[in-house]
Each structure stands twice: as C-alpha cells, then as structure tokens.
Chain A
Amino acid sequence: MTSVSAIESRPATRPLPMVDWLLVLSLFAVGGALTRALLYTPADAALGAVQRIFYIHVPSAILGMYVACTIMAIGGGLYLWLKDDRLDRIAESAAEVGFVFLTVVLVTGAIWGKSSWGTAWAWEPRLMSALFLWFVVLSYLVLRDALENPEARARLSAVLGVLALLLVPFIHMTVYLFRGLHPEPIVLQPSKPAMSSEMLGTFGYAVLAFTLLFFALVRVRYQWATARDARLALEQA
C-alpha cells in the first residue's frame, strides 16, 4: 500500500459515527422540499397531480446523469495520473450513489410516462441515454466487485470510468440518429413547460435538497470505503 493509505488509516481508528449530521440535514431538506411540492405547489393544468414527480425526477436526473458520472470519470482520470487511493474512493462512491439516483430517474420516469404518455417505456432518445448510462454505471460497479486486488480494482475501473465519459456523446448522437429515421408517433418532448413562479421556486428547493442528499450520501459512502480499506490494510499487514 502507498503512503496515502497509511495517512488514511489514522481517521479510521476512530469509529464511524452511526448518525451522520450532514445526511440528517439533507433528509430534512428533501422532506421540506417534497412537502412544499405536495402541499403548497399547484398541480399542472394539463398533466394533473402526477406532474409533481418532476420535483424528484429532474433533480435526480441532473445528479445521477451529469454530476455522478462526471465525478466518476474525473476521479478515475485523476487516479490514473496521481495514484491517490482517495480519488478512487471518490469515484467509487459517486458511481454507487449515482446508480441509486439513476434508478430513481428510471422508475419515476416510467411511472410518470405511464400516466402522461400512456406507456411506461418509449424508445425515445432521453430514455435510451438514461438506460445506457445506467448500464455503464452498473457494469462499472460489477467490474469493481469482480476485482479483488485493490490496486487493480482502482486502476481498471478508472479506465472504464474515463471511457464512459467519452461514450456519453456517442450515445446521444446514436439515439438521435435512431429517432431521426424512426419518428415517434407520440409527442414526448415535454417542451419546457412555462412554469409558474411557485413551481420554479419549488423546483429550485428540490434541486438544492437533492444535491445536498447526493453529497451527503457520497460522503458517508466515502467514509465507509476509507474504513473498509484501512481494515483491509490492517488485516494484510
């Protein structure tokens, strides 16, 4: 193990707190945002109450598709350069939490689609992008699981993480090509509905709250990974 893990093993001798204050705070924030969405924000005139899924679906999509995957790729790329175990743990934590957010995006999207489009799944560019990103993050996590040597695990999963970032624009290009030749009969593009100021305010709160939740989860996951790696180093020493 490198000197970095020697430094990292110091905080791990302190037991991890069972209650993480940032996570509790973020849960209160999410609870507040959802309460505001359910009780104090008017329902959409055309879609009805189901439109309130928007306040979970879109923030989760922003965090799962863009934030998590970018952290996964950049963390991996920096790991290959600097060989610092902490970067690998950041990438690992962001990927796992991002996978949870992507799952929420797909599930809430299917429920919303069933209500508003009449079908839970449509072969539409955005859905395909989300699905393939979900597959890529899943394969990243499975690859990590299949590798036992920590150094090889960090190195090989970083390669996959970096290539995943290159893949994303190609998925977008391909799915738009796919659609361009097979026009969809249903108008799926929820072309940026002009939101009322109340809706916009609730959406802003929701984005903030879910961002807080995302980083709180990544932080807890990261601290756990640190403790796990320190214990592993102790066992092998």
Chain B
Amino acid sequence: MTGPAIETGAPVRARATAEALPSVTVPSRAPSFLGDTWRIARKDLLIEFRTRSGFLSTAVFALIALAIFRFSWDPTAVNTLDLAPGVLWVIFTFAGLLGLNRSFGVEHADRALDALLASPVSREAIFAGKALGNLVFLLGVQALAIPTLGLFFGLPLGPEWLMVAAVAVLAAVGFVAVGTLFAAVASNTRLAEMLLPMLSLPFFMPVVIPAAQATARLLGDQPLSEAVPALKILALFDIVFVVACTLAFPFTLEE
C-alpha cells in the first residue's frame, strides 16, 4: 500500500515546490508562513485523500476498538458514563499514534524530506503544515468515533455533545503538536513505530486525563464549572506545547 502513496505523493510535492519557487524569484511576493503551512498541509492531505489507506485503517481501528470495549463492558458493574469517556480517549490516543506514524514515514520513504528541506519553506512552516495535516486527520477520526460512541453506548443526544466536540478539538491541538514533534524525532530511528508511543505517551497524559474528565463531567450533565479546571489545563497545554514544539522542531531535522 505504500507504493501508490509515493507515486501520488511525488507530483503533488513537485507542484508544491513549483508554487513556492516564484516567491524567491519575484520579490513582490514574500514566502508567507501561513501560505507555506497551508501548502504543506494540503500536500499531506492530498496524499492521504488519494490513497485513503491511512485514514481508513485508523477509522476501522477506532470503530473496532469501540465495539470491543462495548462487548466486554458489563453494564451491571460499571456505569456507562464512568466507562465511555475513558474508552473514547484511549481510542483517540492510539488512533492518533497510528496517523502520526505515517506523517514522517511518507517523507522518509524516498528521502522526500530532503526536497522539502531544500525548498524555500521555513522549518517552522513545515512543522505547522505537518501538524495541521495531522490535526485534520485526527479530527476526521473523532468526527467518526464520537457519534459511534454515542450510538454504541446508548448515550442520549443533547447540546452537551457540542461541548464534547469543543473539548475534542482543544485536546487534539496539544496532542497533535507534541505527537508531530515526536514523530519527527522517532522517524530518525529504525524503530520509529515502536519508539513513538514510548516517547509521546507520557506527554499525552496531561491531555488525555483532563479531556476524559471534562468529557465525563459534560456527559454527566454536571454544570460547566465542573469541567473548567480540566479545560484550563488543556488550554494551557495547547499554548505551551504548540509554541515549544514549533521552536524545537528545526532541531529535529539534519542541519
């Protein structure tokens, strides 16, 4: 399945750099950070969209895991609302790791990363673009998994699901920032797929625990103020680690 990814990836990448080239020759249009970020993210998402193998396998993983948890759940022993948030966030963590592994694997496949580094795109923009692509990927998985959770666990529909979606986005931002950075670190090793969970799981802990807790409070129809401490940690984590990982990312690439 990696074959088509490389074949479709190369022309897209070539176009991305071709678009970036005039920005060097024509001084009137300076290379913009946001523009570069968008081009990198679009390139990754195009590869993803054309092959669909990564997203499909991750989505299938998430749905199967939800089904397994639902089957192994004893409703007389554990309350739905005690179980569902934890299940949801454990699944997001592992589904997210599956997506992150691909993020730099694609670039290392035919040393496409070298071409990316040779292009006049700042390294921070490469990071932001990669992270944006991963964010869209993870939000896609969440958009599929959250309604399925409600369906499988028989949770009532209500306006609190909008807040759950907001928590999911808030958590996904911090998750993706840290995960993209460690995916870049791990991609330098031969054991990338095995090393990434080990490196990133301790860092996901301050994302996953508050997110699961906020989800539990919201679905439990408790007042919003109950979820605020967890949301504060998530927001602070997002700010600190988005900045720190963007600054640290250039160091993960060869000079």
Contacts and interface: CB of A to CB of B under 8 A. Distances in A.
Interface stretch (A89-97, A177-185, A190-198): A177-185
A156 B248 contact: no
B199 A139 contact: yes
Contacts of B244: 162-163, 166
A227 B252 CA distance: 27
Nearest to B233: A173
Nearest to A149: B188
Interface of A, secondary structure class, is helix
A159 B245 CA distance: 9
Interface stretch (B62-70, B101-109, B129-137, B190-198): B190-198
**Looking at chain B's contact residues, is the secondary structure mostly helix, strand, loop, or mixed?**
helix
A177 B213 contact: yes
B188 A177 contact: no
Interface in A115-174: 132, 135-136, 139, 142-143, 146-147, 152, 155-156, 158-160, 162-163, 166-167, 170-171, 173-174
Interface residues of B, number: 32
Interface in B233-252: 233, 236-237, 240-241, 244-245, 248, 251-252
B205 interface: yes
Contacts of B241: 163, 166
Given A155-B251, A159-B251, A170 B199 contact: no
A80 interface: yes
A80 B233 CA distance: 28
Nearest to A167: B203
A135 B230 CA distance: 23
Contact of B188 (A152, A170, A180): A152
Closest 8 CB pairs of A and B: A170-B206, A146-B189, A174-B206, A135-B202, A139-B198, A136-B202, A159-B248, A156-B185
Given A163-B245, A173-B233, 17 more contacts: A135-B202, A143-B189, A143-B199, A146-B195, A147-B188, A152-B254, A160-B199, A162-B244, A163-B244, A166-B240, A166-B244, A167-B206, A170-B233, A174-B205, A177-B213, A177-B229, A180-B229
Interface of A: 80, 132, 135-136, 139, 142-143, 146-147, 152, 155-156, 158-160, 162-163, 166-167, 170-171, 173-174, 177-178, 180-181
